[in-house]
Structures are given as C-alpha cells and as structure tokens.
Structure 1
Amino acid sequence: MKVSKLAIFTAGVFFSANSLAEVNYQIDLTQPQHHLAKVQVSFPKSSAEILTVNLPVWRTGKYAVLPLADGIRLFEATDSKGKPLTWQRSATGEWQINLTQPTEVNVSYQLYANDLGTRVRHIDNSHAYLDASGVFMYSPEFRGDEVKVSMKVPKGWQSHSGMEQGRKSHSFIADNYDVLIDSPIETGINTHYGFEADGRDYELVFWGEGNYDAEQVVKDLTKISSTASVIWDDYPFERYVYMVHATSGARGATEHLNSTIIQLPRFNFRERKDYLRFISTASHEFIHTWNVKAYRPQGLVPYDYQQASMTQLLWMAEGSTSYFQNQLLLRADVITPKEFFADLAKRVNNNMHKPGREIQSVSEASLNEWTNTGGDYAINHGVNIYSEGYLASLSLDFNLLKDTELAHSYRDVHRQLYRDFKLPKGYNVDDVKGILKSLSGKDYQSWWQQHITSPFSLDFDSLLAQAGLVITYGKKDESTIYSGLRLSGGHKDLTLAHVSRNSPAWTAGIAAGDEIVAINGLKVTAAGFKKRLEDFTPGDKITVSLFKNDQLIKVPLTLAKQPKGDLTIQGVETPSVEQKAFLKAWLGIDWPFDEAGKFIN
C-alpha cells in the first residue's frame, strides 16, 4: 500500500519518475541515553564534480529558519570503495563533496537530538522522534529518487510512520525525499491503536504516560475522520497516523502528509477544557491533510528546504484551518454548540483587545511570519495568521453565504481548491478571487482589499446578527476598570510583559519591561496586582511606582472602563426564519437556543 496518492504525482512532476536509483538511510539508535545517533546515507552514482548534500534549514509546518545543522558533528564522506572524499561547508545546511570520478557516495555523521518542543528530533532512553528535516540529509540531485530507511533500535521498541513499511522490522520506504520529510517516525516504547473510518485505516500512537483516556480519543478521532466529506470530495490518503506525545512540558502540533504529531503535557488531557484543546488540535492537523498538504499557495510549491518560502496566503493555509477545526468537531458531535460558541467568543474578545489589528493586514502578517518573534510589539503592531486568519475566514464565509443566498459557503472555496489545485500545482490570490467570482457571480476585489490586504476591524454585532447571534457580557450595563497592563505571569514577577497600545498605561508612558513595585505608595505583589486594581473605579487617578531602566519613578495613571464580565455569544430571543437558515447553512446544525436565546443543552 502506497503512503499516499499525493506522493505519486508529487514525485512524478517535480523530479524524474523513471529513475531506478534509490537513497538508503541507516540510523543507529542503540545508545540513546545521551541523545545521540549515528546516521549513514548512501547516494547513487553521481557524475558531477561536486555532490551537494543538504540538511534543511526549516521544517514543514513551522515557518521559521531553525539552526538544525548545529546538531551535526563528525561528518565524513567516502566513495564506493570506502576511500575518503574531501568536502567543504558552503552554506548553512550545505556540504559540498568533491568527486574526481563518477562514484556512489556514502555520508555519515553524528546526530544530536534533544529538542522535543520543535517537533524535529528527540532521542532518549524511551523513544526517538525523527522528522527528516532535522535528521536525514539529502542531495538535490537525488531528491526525487526512492528512499529506504532502516533503523537499529533498542530491544522492545516499536516503530510507526505514515510511510510504507519496509521488508525488515524498523524499516520504511518512501517514493522520494519529499515524502520522507513529511512522514516523521516515532519509535520507542509506545502504545498503538488501530481503527477504521469511512473505509480508511487509522492508527493512534501514544508515547508517554498521562491522564488521557485512549478509548475516548479513538472514539472521537473516528468521528472526526468520518466528517471530512462536509468540505472535500475525497481523501488524499489511504492510511493516517495520529502520533501523540504526553510530555513533561512541550506542547504544540505539526501536520504531515498522512500523519500528525501532537504534544501536550501528560496531565493535560482529563479536564474538559484541556481535552477540548487536544481534540481541537487533532481536528486542525487532520484538516491540514487537505489544506496545505494536498493543496497550498504557490510560494510553498515545491518546498524550498534551504530558505524561507514566502507567500501572502499563509493566513488561508493556517487561519482557515483553525476556522474549520471546530466546525468539523461540531458536525461530528464531538463538541456541543455551547462549546463551539464559547471558543468563538474568546476569539472575538481577543481580537477586540489586539491593537495590532489596526496596523497590520493578514496578507502582510503572512509574509512576516518567517520573522515574527511575538511579544509586545507583535501584539500592538501586528496580527496572527492563525487567530486573525480565522476571523478573515469567518468574514469571507458570511459574505459568500449572503452573496449566494446560502447556496455556497467558504467550504466550497476549499473544495474547489482541492479539485483544481492539487499538488504539484499551487494556487495564488487571483485563483482564490476567481473561485469566489465563479461561486457568487460577484467581483471580490474590493472585499479583498478591505479585509485581506488592508488591516480590518470587524463589526461583530452586525456580522453575527445575520446568523441570529448576539454578543453579551456577564453583567449588562456594568463596567470595570481598564489599565492596559499585563504582567509576565509569574507569581512573584511584577515585570510588564505587555502594555496595550493607546491604553491608559500606554498614554502614561508605561512600557513592557517596566517593573511595578507600588500603587498609591503601597507595595503590590504579582498575586495581588489584579485585585489591587479592582479597588478602584473607572476614571480614578492612581500613582504607579515602577522601575524603568533600573530607575525608580512615579507615573500618574487615569483608569478607563471596559464591560464587566466575560464576552459570550448567544442567540437572539426571536430569531427570524432567515437567521435560522443562515446558521444552518453556516454550521450544518439546527437552531441550538431556547426562546430566551440560551443554549438548549
């Protein structure tokens, strides 16, 4: 069974499909206690004077240049007879091997793998997680040739990957390097589950103990894996592998060709809010199997592993995936309407309190993702391709539903992208606009300019009203103080992590990095800081004592007001037929509210 239908035409278009050569990788993991392994690569005969060998400088799914080559030592190259070949480093992640005559080339090197959180490589006594981008070198000359991987592992280890299983234990086969790099390997002491959904085989692999309920996870993943047809016509895979790390701190996830890796602290599964975070992530990565892995923006086709690959459509690749993830869970009956709208409410609230939405567009944020370091400046002067990409997708979805009188939604856009722009094609902005016009009969140039290439601030009240929804707060007509101050988060740390642009604190000249020590001459603590501010009312003037550049100063600060209570989304009390129909076309569910606009369940 081939790893993926996608793999077949990816190799066939980018590279020669008729080559009989193959690249063989061997990795020795039998002494994992110091996070070390030995890697050997055998390249086919080359007639070039110089054989270039590369280790990628980034990994798919994380749009940032990483120092992956720093984990390489003891690099050696020999010819087919075992004689040493001279070589030189020519760039970050690049080695050039000098050839005096045509020969096969064997490369070996030591690999250090102790970076779990970036989901590239990690080796210890219990397992090894291997993403080829940080483990296996390649030569551009043989990038399209078949790949074989064999591993020497400690006794008792089990090996899993989205790749096709090789003839021997702990071995895998891939059509080419691009399949290898998008098919990570989890080998070690792990727990494996198999299940079937919609005629396809699925696997769930847990590494690490934790408070997860594996049976519940399998049950919900089965539901999710059967719901993709609400967006796409078919599947780009025959088998899919969910890999889960229950860790001691690392968290995050990465999509791959027909697999995903999800990391969560080992005791962050049981509580409902924690489980929702996990299962939403699983849905997100599963959706990526289409959006990004089966079709993606032109700037990422083909992947250039040696430099940043720019595109202004990352918001669509990532933000739209975030937008669909909970819709899939809702349709699969994994989450309730109340949980769905609670998540949407948080996103709306976060956007309202993000000053950067007035400065940066999602298009610019997509181009900036490769250099985005986050922090105070990013919040005040930028947006996020995930969160604001979600809201751009929401706005586009509602606009398309309105323009087509509920005949078409944003799902149809992605269905068409999958039909028309499967790899090795890539789509661009004009392609997306063309699909929007074909669905609606209208030109979306003006909308695109207002919402994508320009900073946008949505009128959430009027937007959500189309679906019979209303924004409320916990206590109507009541307000509380607003300062714009946000601490770093530690129990003893009064250093400011963020000061919101144009907030009272910003206007007073307080900045991120300042350390607060007192309010109105009385000492404050990190634990009691929030309650201390609640002693005041909007409009009160207070004096904040703080250290700025190690100098103690006093700053007058006038507190403003904001609505009291959490932002929530609920139904209107008397929804119209049109509003109910809009919500049904949007989410695929019946009206979930009672006569008072409260959730029925």
Structure 2
Amino acid sequence: MSEPVSIPGVQVHLDLREPHTHRVLVTLSASAPAEHFVVSLPGWTPGSYLIRDYVRQLEGLSAEQNGRVLALTRLSPSRWRVEGASPHEPVSIRYGVMATELSVRTCHFDQDHGFFALAAVVLELEGQRWQPHQLTCQLPAQWQAFTPLAAAADGGWLARDYDQLIDSPLEVGAHTLHQFQVRGVPHRWVTWAGDARDASWFHERYPSFFEDVRRVCEACCDLLAESAPASRDYLFVLHLLDDGYGGLEHDDSCVLVYGRRNLEAEHGYRKLLQLIAHEYFHQWNVRRLTPAELRPIDYQQASVVPTLWFAEGVTSYVDQWLPLRAGLSEPEDYLHDLGEDLSRYLLSPGRFVQSLQTSSEEAWVKLYKPDAYSGNSQISYYLKGAVIALCADLHLRQNGSSLERVLQGLWRSHGAVGRGYQQQDLLAAFEAACAGLGSILERWLTSVDDPDIDGYLLSVGLALEPEMAAHPWSGAVLKVQPNGLQVQRIWRQSPAERAGLMVGDELIGLDATRLTLVEQWERLLSAGASHELLISRRSQLRRLRLEPGAPAVKRYRLVTLATARPEQEAARAAWLRPAGR
C-alpha cells in the first residue's frame, strides 16, 4: 500500500482561455485535511463594506479524489461540506465563475481583458487559510497576467496564505506594462482602456504622468515620515472607461476606475491624482494601520467598524492635500476642491439625522445601498470624516501640532507593529497631541451637530460664501424621462414633501400649464404662492397643493478674506505650504 501523497498548501488554477464565455474555470488542488471538511466563498472583499454574495456567480461545484466523486452538502448559500475524503491525499475541487460585472470589487472577463477580485473566485478550504497558496493561469495567446503576488520558482505566483491571495487583484490582457521606482521600491502600472490605442492615447496625452504619480507616492511617504513605501513591490491597475470613478486598496496594489469624461473635464487630471493619492495612502491607513475589528477578517459576515470615519474620512481629507504637497497643484486648486466638499456636506440634510460614528457602524447596510431617500437620513463617513479631519487639523495647528503628527504617531504605535486600533486609541492619540481635543472629537463623532466649520476656517483667513438659487425652493429634484417629467428626489421637510410628492411621481401640470421641462417648472414656481399640481402615480391621476419657499442656497464657495489679519494669512500659508517650499 503506497503512502499518501501530500500537496503543500493549496494550488489554485484559473483557466482563462475562453473569454467569449465570460467564465473562469477554477481548479483547487490540496491534500484533504480530514474525511469531512468545509469549503466556503467569501461574502465580501476588504475595503468595500457590503456583503456581496459572490456565490451568485459560482456554478458547477464538484469535488474529486483519486477518480472518485466526493459528496457535497450545502451548509449555507456559500459554504459546503465535502464528505468521504481520504485524509492527507490529494483532492481536486472544480467550478466555474461568471465574470460579467465591471467594478473594482467584482469580476469582468471578455475578449478585451479580464479582471478578477479573487475573493469572488477562490474558495477557502477549511484548515488551509494560513497555508501557502500557489496561483497559476492559462491565458489566451498574447495575453499577460498582472498581480502583486511574487512569482513562484516553478511558475505562477505564490501567496503566503489565503488572505494574501484574495487580497491580490488579477488583471489579464494584452496590456503594456509601465515600471518606475519610488525611493528604490519597484512600482508597476497597467492601464486597460478598452483597447491598446486608448491606453496609449492616455499616456501620450500626459507624458509626465508617471513622474507625477511618483511624486504623489513620495508625498505619501513623507506625510508619515517614512523613507520608503510600506509595500516592497506595488502594482497599480487603472480601468479607463467612458464614465466612472472609484478605487479599491490592497496591501501591495490598488485598482482604479476613472472616466474619460472626468479626465476631459476641468480639474479632471488633478482629480485623478487625488484618487491615486487616496488609494495609495491606504497602503498605510487601513491596510497596515488597521481597525482592530478587521484583525482577522471574517469573510462570511459583516463586522461593525466604528472607526471607518478615520480609515476613509481622514484619507479623503489628505488625498486632496497630497498633490499640493507634491508640488503638482497650487493652494488655490486645493481650496477650490475643499470648497466643493464643504458645499456638498452643508447641503446634505442627512447630517442632521445620522452621526459620523453611526455612519461608520451602518456602512454595511446603508452607504453601499443608497436609494432616492438616502440623502435625507444618512451622511457619508468619507465626506463628514473629511470635514472632521479638516476641523481637527486646524484645531491642532492652532495649538502647535497637526493631523500629520497624529498620523505619524499612530503609525509608529499601531501600524508599523501590526497592532489594530480601536476608537479609544484614536481619541487618545488626538488628546495626546492637544489636551481637550479627544473629548471634542468624541462629541463630533456622536452628535449630529456641525463642528464650528466657520470658526476653524476663519483661523486661516477663509470663509464660505453662499450662492443662492435663482428660483423658489420646492425641495423636489426632477429629471426628464421618456414618459415625462419625473421626481428623482424629495428633500426632507421641504415644500414638496409637505405637498405629498413622492419619488417616481410624474409631473403633468402646474396650475394651467402642461409640464415638459425642468427649466419650465423652475420658471413657473412662485415663492409663497399656492400652486396646483397634477401628477400621475402608479397610473392614477392626483391633484396636490405645492407652496414653494424662498430661494435656498445653491452652493457654497470657499473664499479668502480680504480682511484677514497677518497671523491668519501666516497660518494659512503654513497649512498649505507644499513640500520643499
């Protein structure tokens, strides 16, 4: 009788030779850990706090050992028990995954390219999570694979464990690889833009692009007083689409989505650099300076993380700041972008309903599941977190410190040594930097009241100026649809809400006039008047009374005060001084 043959770790093979099917064929090979063992597919991928049920795309699961089919018993929608295996002998698990959703957190596969968030592709084998995993691929002719994983000596790529494997995105296609270094650390960049010509156009249009990226990366290092990046080998993947904006961070890589239309808009290139800065800075803040609730990660269910305001909000604050520090934008550019964010925040009624801490805790069920009424009852921890970071930074600067120093201290005490932080650790760090700020920050986190934004801006000679709308306020946001003028959003405590309008209502007439255009609606409204509305709701005609209010604030603009005192101007100059100036 021969001895059992043991396969070290897990072998993961992806057959990607038929992109026209949009399906990846997966084979996992490992030694059976026991007679009965469990396999499971993650429900989410770190950095995107939503249970995504990746199992929806999985099909044809089977298990085999020595030519014998093993029984599978489903324990939950994404967990199975493999039964009747001979322990320590090789077992093969095969299945397919449909890849038709193009985003940074899902999978997409066609004749142009393939992108795989491996949390949606690779099953976890019970008892094997902390064992090495080797990844291999079969590709169409002329295609290459790009992943942050280290190359294995005998082919493919090697991950130290399951967590590193599924944290490593995989991009495949006939792409051009660009390479550069950031303080001696290799960095690679791959752009997919539909076809090679579009990718070439992008890089030809911005010949200084990789130098600009390098400078942004160095600014991230300097912000944390680090001589080099945290990663030893970093990969950027950019999907340049017609429309889109977003990114997802990983330990040694990030995936970006950016729209050509965004790029061609005013400030579009600067916004791209800010997106790059945001995801790259996550290499420290989130990936290594990590909430304790994510150590280790539970891939099957949500973990309440009260500190997402710090993980994402602080990163959102510094991502606008980093191109300025890198010398790639001017203070006026930064103030323009900051003003846009402050305006969005002040025009968000949901900030009076949901606190910043609650927003962090409810990320799993609210932020990533918006509907037409979400703006009335919630506030993004990205947006309000950035506003709180701004106020905290200016508060610290008034007292001889800065947010930069707090970040550096937390990196040394937690991130650099792999120690997860909790809310009290963050509050203590701010308190240590400035006596009293810990309790102030705790109040900002748990209250729905605004911080003293105007006061903090005044300390650096800035102010927010309101710009009023040109027409009376109804509180209804409308859009022209094929079937007519339709209500897209209703603001809480607005004239439209009091009138009884609902999202989805079709507006047919106002008083004696047939409605067809948004501009027409705005022109006919009169503040203080009582208008008769004729609407259609679920094919039923109704008449409502609408009494618009006076014109409301359309936006806020951040301006420098001509009356600013010398000490205010000096404080602003010190805050906005680019590195090296």
Say yes or no: TM over 0.5.
Answer: yes
Aligned to 2:3: none
User: Does the Cα contact within 8 Å between 2:293 and 2:304 map onto a contact in 1?
Assistant: yes
Query: Please, which runs of 5 or more residues in structure 1 have no aligned partner?
Result: 1-18, 593-601
Aligned to 2:347: 353
Identity over aligned pairs, percent: 25
Query: Per the alignment, do residues 387 and 413 of structure 1 end up closer, same or farther by CA in structure 2, a change over 3 Å counting?
Result: same
Query: Per the alignment, do residues 272 and 340 of structure 1 end up closer, same or farther by CA in structure 2, a change over 3 Å counting?
Result: same
1:201 aligns with 2:186: yes
Aligned to 1:229: 221
1:553 aligns with 2:542: yes
User: How far has the Cα of 1:541 moved from its partner?
Assistant: 3.8
TM-score in terms of structure 2 length: 0.91
User: How far has the Cα of 1:74 moved from its partner?
Assistant: 1.6
User: Does the Cα contact within 8 Å between 2:185 and 2:232 map onto a contact in 1?
Assistant: yes
Aligned to 2:403: 410
1:239 aligns with 2:233: yes
Aligned partner of 2:381 among 367, 375, 385:
385
Aligned to 1:50: 36
1:496 aligns with 2:487: yes
Cα shift readout 1:102-141 (whole Å, capped 9, x = no counterpart): 1232211112111112532111112211211011112241
User: Does the Cα contact within 8 Å between 1:25 and 1:148 map onto a contact in 2?
Assistant: yes
Aligned to 1:455: 448
User: How far has the Cα of 1:326 moved from its partner?
Assistant: 0.5
Q: How far apart in 2 are the matches of 1:493 and 1:384?
A: 32
Aligned partner of 2:422 among 419, 422, 428:
428
Q: How far apart in 1 are the matches of 2:435 and 2:41?
A: 47
Indicate the SS of the match to 1:386: helix
User: How far has the Cα of 1:357 moved from its partner?
Assistant: 0.8
Q: How far apart in 2 are the matches of 1:570 and 1:491?
A: 41
Q: How far apart in 2 are the matches of 1:342 and 1:219?
A: 24
User: How far has the Cα of 1:296 moved from its partner?
Assistant: 1.5
1:150 aligns with 2:142: no
Cα shift readout 1:328-382 (whole Å, capped 9, x = no counterpart): 0111122332322222222222222211111110111111110112123321111
User: Does the Cα contact within 8 Å between 1:27 and 1:37 map onto a contact in 2?
Assistant: yes
1:582 aligns with 2:575: no
1:123 aligns with 2:90: no
Matched length: 562
Indicate the SS of the match to 2:11: strand
User: How far has the Cα of 1:273 moved from its partner?
Assistant: 3.5
Structure 1 segment 252-291 matched on structure 2, within 5 A: 252-291=246-285
User: How far has the Cα of 1:247 moved from its partner?
Assistant: 2.9
Which amino acid is 1:96 matched to?
Answer: R
User: How far has the Cα of 1:20 moved from its partner?
Assistant: 9.8
Cα shift readout 1:430-451 (whole Å, capped 9, x = no counterpart): 1011111211133622x23421
Indicate the SS of the match to 1:516: strand
Aligned to 1:191: 176
Q: How far apart in 2 are the matches of 1:67 and 1:322?
A: 28
User: How far has the Cα of 1:493 moved from its partner?
Assistant: 5.0
Cα shift readout 1:495-528 (whole Å, capped 9, x = no counterpart): 2121111122222222322221222221222xx3
Query: Per the alignment, do residues 506 and 260 of structure 1 end up closer, same or farther by CA in structure 2, a change over 3 Å counting?
Result: same
Aligned to 2:528: 539
Q: How far apart in 2 are the matches of 1:164 and 1:412?
A: 34
User: How far has the Cα of 1:200 moved from its partner?
Assistant: 2.0
1:67 aligns with 2:53: yes
Aligned to 1:483: 474
Query: Per the alignment, do residues 470 and 66 of structure 1 end up closer, same or farther by CA in structure 2, a change over 3 Å counting?
Result: same
TM-score in terms of structure 1 length: 0.88
Structure 1 segment 27-42 matched on structure 2, within 5 A: 27-42=14-29
1:508 aligns with 2:499: yes
Aligned to 1:469: 462
User: Does the Cα contact within 8 Å between 2:427 and 2:442 map onto a contact in 1?
Assistant: no
User: How far has the Cα of 1:249 moved from its partner?
Assistant: 4.8
Query: Per the alignment, do residues 139 and 456 of structure 1 end up closer, same or farther by CA in structure 2, a change over 3 Å counting?
Result: farther
User: Does the Cα contact within 8 Å between 2:119 and 2:166 map onto a contact in 1?
Assistant: yes
User: Does the Cα contact within 8 Å between 1:64 and 1:371 map onto a contact in 2?
Assistant: yes
Indicate the SS of the match to 1:269: helix
Query: Per the alignment, do residues 443 and 288 of structure 1 end up closer, same or farther by CA in structure 2, a change over 3 Å counting?
Result: closer
User: Does the Cα contact within 8 Å between 1:227 and 1:332 map onto a contact in 2?
Assistant: yes
User: How far has the Cα of 1:542 moved from its partner?
Assistant: 2.9
Aligned to 1:376: 372
Query: Per the alignment, do residues 489 and 138 of structure 1 end up closer, same or farther by CA in structure 2, a change over 3 Å counting?
Result: farther
RMSD: 2.5
User: How far has the Cα of 1:383 moved from its partner?
Assistant: 0.9
